[in-house]
Amino acid sequence: MNQYETVFILTPVLSDEQMKETVAKFKNLLTNNGAEILNEEAWGLKKMAYAIEKKSTGFYCLLEFKGEPSIVNTLETGFRRDEKVIRYMTVRLDKYAAAYAEKRRNKLGKKEA
């Protein structure tokens, strides 16, 4: 199983509840296909570097997960089919990036507690 990190941007016209439902939908898609979700971060509404579909802001979300390589195609197909998703990017983490992500998660966990 590989470790992946995906960041996706949702359209800014969504309500807070709609945004959470959309993130939950993608989390369910991952867990139903055998992935283990390691971390979820909602970065909130942020200004984008350039306008996409005439929108200059978007809701940024990050999901870290472990799964088989085939799950990435399933996830990205879900992103393409959902009109609420403006952009997305999924990367496979090598051992150094995975170690950094774990250290970052632990650091964030201590701040919230």
Provide the residue-wise pLDDT of the chain in tens; the chain has 113 residues: 899 999 999 999 999 999 999 999 999 999 999 999 999 999 999 999 999 989 999 999 999 999 999 999 999 999 999 999 999 999 999 999 989 988 988 887 776 65
* Measured CA distances, 108 to 3, 31, 111 (Å): 19, 23, 5
pTM of the model: 0.88
Question: CATH assignment of 2-108, given 3.30.70.60, 3.40.50.2300, 3.40.190.100, 3.40.109.10?
Answer: 3.30.70.60
Domain layout of the chain by residue ranges: 2-108
Give the max Cα distance, the chain: 39
- Burial label for 10, CB within 10 Å (0-12, 13-18, 19+), is buried
The pLDDT score that the predictor gives to residue 110 is 72
Question: What confidence score (pLDDT) does residue 105 get?
Answer: 85
